[in-house]
Amino acid sequence: PYINELLIFCHEISYNNYLLTIEVEMRNCSETIKNICIDNFLLLGDRKISVSQRSPGIWNGHWFELRETNLMPGESVKIRLYFHLKPTENKLNYKVMYINNHEAEKIHSFSN
C-alpha cells in the first residue's frame, strides 16, 4: 500500500498463543521528512485493537524499541507490531490499518 507518500510492505506475520505479530517496512517516497508513529497502526475487526505495549517498535539498528521516528526522504525502516487477541476472537476477520493525516490504508487483511 501507498499512503501519504509512504510505501508500506508487510513482511512476516505469525500468530501464536493469541498474539498476532506483524513486521512491516515503510519507505519515505516524498521529498520531505515523514513522522512514523507506532500508535498509527490499528487492527480492525469485531473491535478496534491498538498495538500492544509488549515491546512493539521501530528498528533502531540494534532492536525494535522506538515508538516514533522521522524518516528522511528515500529512507526506510522496519517495524514490529504486536496485537493481543482474546481467545474468543478469530484473527481471520481483521484488517491491519495505518492511519496518517486522516487517511487510512489497509496494510494486510485476514479473511476466511
pLDDT tens sequence across 11-63: 878 888 888 889 999 999 999 999 999 889 998 887 778 887 666 688 877 78
Domain ranges in the chain? 2-109
Q: CA 87 from chain center: how many Å? A: 22
> What's the predicted TM-score (pTM) here?
0.81
Cβ atoms within 10 Å of 90's Cβ, excluding its own: 11
What is the fold, at CATH topology level, of the domain defined by 2-109?
Immunoglobulin-like (2.60.40)
Closest alpha carbon to 78 in 65, 95, 90, 89: 65
